[in-house]
Amino acid sequence: MNIASRLPDIGTSIFAVMSKLASEQGAINLSQGFPDFQVDPVIIDLIYRFMREGNNQYAPMPGTPVLRQVIADVISKTYSRDVDPVDEITITAGATEALYAAIAACVHPGDEVIVFDPAYDSYNPTIRLNGGVPVHINLRYPDFSIDWDEVKKRITPRTRMIMVNTPHNPSGAVLSANDLMMLQKLAEAHNLIVLSDEVYERIIFDNKRHESVLHYPALAARSIAVFSFGKTFHATGWKVGYAVAPRHISQEIRKTHQFITFSVNTPIQLALAEYMQNPEHYRHLGSFYQQKRDYFLQGIKGSSFEPMPCHGSYFQSLSYRNIASLSDIRMAEELTIKHKVASIPASVFYHDKTDNQLLRFCFAKSEQTLDQAMEILRKI
């Protein structure tokens, strides 16, 4: 039986490809974005306790009330914004599901969605699967900033949504207050929905403020902000995230969410609610990862790699233009096979496959892992 693919140009994710190659070659895996150190045993014990107490059945479709209330309290303290936990917060099976549910809820066939490249690889397929038309705009190299004049030119009567990501994966760039004001101005002028991927909200460096859409009332009124517990608490395998949006938008998101996953792991939700009541469990995440970024950068000094600015996320991009003229995909393969360090070629994050000779390395690793990788990279 022949099945006409709805995504004929999509193959296995580059993250799976590079992780598989790293495993086959016995290479140090700095490609896929997950920590290799342990989750806090406090929250592990909480999950176990809630399981033992019998909290093992379906959670309410929008999420457990206690977790949504804690999230609302944290948002109030962090962004000085009051959010209704009952109608404006939806717990999802990771941030990727939140993004999918949001796009499925808001994008109609033929609607255009502006996406800034390099971009997380789920954006384009999700838009297309829901009948939308991705409109890709490349961020300016080398600072990966948004060219707002170009954005204005690309908005048409069919534009329905703008997607932004800050702190940015893969570049580590962060949006400024001016960027958010420009975004708000365009969204209001053209009646657009903003989908803001903020999964690295707490992983921001150099005394910069995370410019969430939730900071700006007029922008928040037409925005969906997406967050990830997996990124915040070093537990990407739990796949728990959430979407924050005005009531009328949240209602539509929940209509799609209920038919994608319906509900999310109950004991983990209850454990997160209790764990988050202590701000010390997330307050210092930025400084924790800034130390890792700085440790990685210090450790590769003496190599011919050229670090790009990184103000957030747990990824560091390195230019290899002083080392080789290979394509970034070929360079990533050679680095993995010959030198035993795996990375991600940045061109895979571009719709047009722009190749700036950059490789992305994940520094959310133990010092032992980083030490092994840095010793190799210093010699290149």
Residue 119 and residue 65 share a domain:
yes
**321 falls within a domain:** yes
Token digits of residue 104: 């499925």
Collapsing DSSP to helix, strand or coil, 209 comes out as: coil
**27 falls within a domain:** yes
Domain carrying residue 151: 41-281
Residue 216 and residue 67 share a domain:
yes
Beta-carbon count within 10 A of 79 CB = 19
Counting the structural domains of the chain, the total is 2
pLDDT score of 130:
98
Query: Could you report the per-residue pLDDT of 6-24, keeping only the tens digit for each?
Result: 999 888 888 889 999 999 9
Residue 248 and residue 112 share a domain:
yes
**7 falls within a domain:** no
Nearest to 258 by CA among 56, 69, 91: 91
**277 falls within a domain:** yes
Question: What is the CATH number for 294?
Answer: 3.90.1150.10
Q: Give the residues of the chain that fall short of pLDDT 50.
A: none
- For residues 240 and 276, the answer to whether their CB atoms sit within 8 Å is no
Residue 89 and residue 223 share a domain:
yes
pLDDT score of 133:
98
Residue 212 and residue 85 share a domain:
yes
Assessment of whether the complete model's pTM goes beyond 0.85 = yes
pLDDT score of 318:
98
Nearest to 369 by CA among 285, 288, 295, 287: 295
- For residues 248 and 112, the answer to whether their CB atoms sit within 8 Å is no
Residue 200 and residue 311 share a domain:
no
Give the whole-angstrom CA distance, residue 315 versus residue 164. 17
pLDDT score of 63:
98
Instruction: Pick the last residue of a domain from 228, 260, 281.
Output: 281
- For residues 115 and 149, the answer to whether their CB atoms sit within 8 Å is no
Residue 346 and residue 227 share a domain:
no
Provide the β-strand partners of residue 307. Answer: 318
Token digits of residue 61: 């479709």
Collapsing DSSP to helix, strand or coil, 198 comes out as: coil
The residues, any chain, with a CB within 8 Å of residue 205's CB and separated by 6 or more, are: 286, 289, 290, 293, 310, 311, 312
Residue 172 and residue 93 share a domain:
yes
**6 falls within a domain:** no
Instruction: Pick the last residue of a domain from 228, 251, 281.
Output: 281
Beta-carbon count within 10 A of 275 CB = 20
- Pairing label, strands 341-342, 28-29: parallel
pLDDT score of 20:
94
Residue 196 and residue 139 share a domain:
yes
Residue 355 and residue 276 share a domain:
no
Instruction: Pick the last residue of a domain from 219, 248, 281.
Output: 281
Torsions phi, psi for 361 (to 5 deg): -115, 135
Residue 288 and residue 273 share a domain:
no
**5 falls within a domain:** no
Collapsing DSSP to helix, strand or coil, 157 comes out as: coil
Question: What is the CATH number for 226?
Answer: 3.40.640.10
**2 falls within a domain:** no
pLDDT score of 51:
98
Residue 330 and residue 201 share a domain:
no
pLDDT score of 349:
97
pLDDT score of 2:
82
